[in-house]
Chain A
Amino acid sequence: EADIYQTPRYLVIGTGKKITLECSQTMGHDKMYWYQQDPGMELHLIHYSYGVNSTEKGDLSSESTVSRIRTEHFPLTLESARPSHTSQYLCASSEWGGLDTEAFFGQGTRLTVV
């Protein structure tokens, strides 16, 4: 079973609030990812990290920011939430560069901005 955890699982928050979605993994993986997924739609990569102090933007433009101060922790922050940020956010981790590299996902955070 994958050891990657996201909190909170569900969040309803008002417009303009600052929020941080938490993601932690205990597998020692260097690479971590944040994806955004609307219901019935594809996953969009919004941020990723190769390791401590590394953060990169993904394919989908996002108003969120991330940090990677510790290997196991990759939080995502929205400085000012808007209704357009309503979505499911999925965190994942992997080793990288190997033929057997596998992605492990958390259970997701369902964010609703009202």
Chain B
Amino acid sequence: KQEVTQIPAALSVPEGENLVLNCSFTDSAIYNLQWFRQDPGKGLTSLLLIQSSQREQTSGRLNASLDKSSGRSTLYIAASQPGDSATYLCAAYTGNQFYFGTGTSLTVIP
């Protein structure tokens, strides 16, 4: 069964800093890897999706990379802002189900 792990569980950085969130998965047979943002008490908002054949995707200050063979994905956030404070989750899609990590709780300090 696919297992998805996210490290660190929590991260606190000063405003303006660049940061990297990590996601690892045990089975490389995935269709895609999706990154989400979750604000407290809310649902998940999709940020980026990387197909298995792709290496990276970019949206604004966000850049996600995928190394399927090593079972890893990273989310890079440039010039962090207090509004980026949230929990970030990754999900590996196997063609049938989505497998979610436990998330990284990010706090950006003004």
Please list the residues of chain A having a beta carbon within 8 angstroms of any beta carbon in chain B.
2, 6, 33, 40-43, 45, 48, 88, 90, 92, 94, 96-108, 110
Contact = CB atoms under 8 A, between A and B. Distances in A.
Contacts of B103: 42
Contacts of B95: 96-97, 101
A102 B46 CA distance: 8
B31 A106 contact: no
B31 A99 contact: yes
A108 B31 contact: no
14 contacts: A2-B46, A42-B102, A48-B97, A99-B32, A99-B51, A99-B53, A101-B32, A102-B34, A103-B46, A103-B91, A105-B44, A107-B42, A108-B41, A108-B42
Contacts of A97: 31, 95-96
Given A42-B100, A42-B102, A101-B93, A106 B43 contact: yes
A105 B45 contact: yes
| Residues of A contacting B: mostly | loop
A103 B98 contact: yes
B82 to A, nearest CB: 20
A99 B105 contact: no
A58 B53 CA distance: 28
Given A42-B103, A43-B100, A45-B97, A100 B44 contact: no
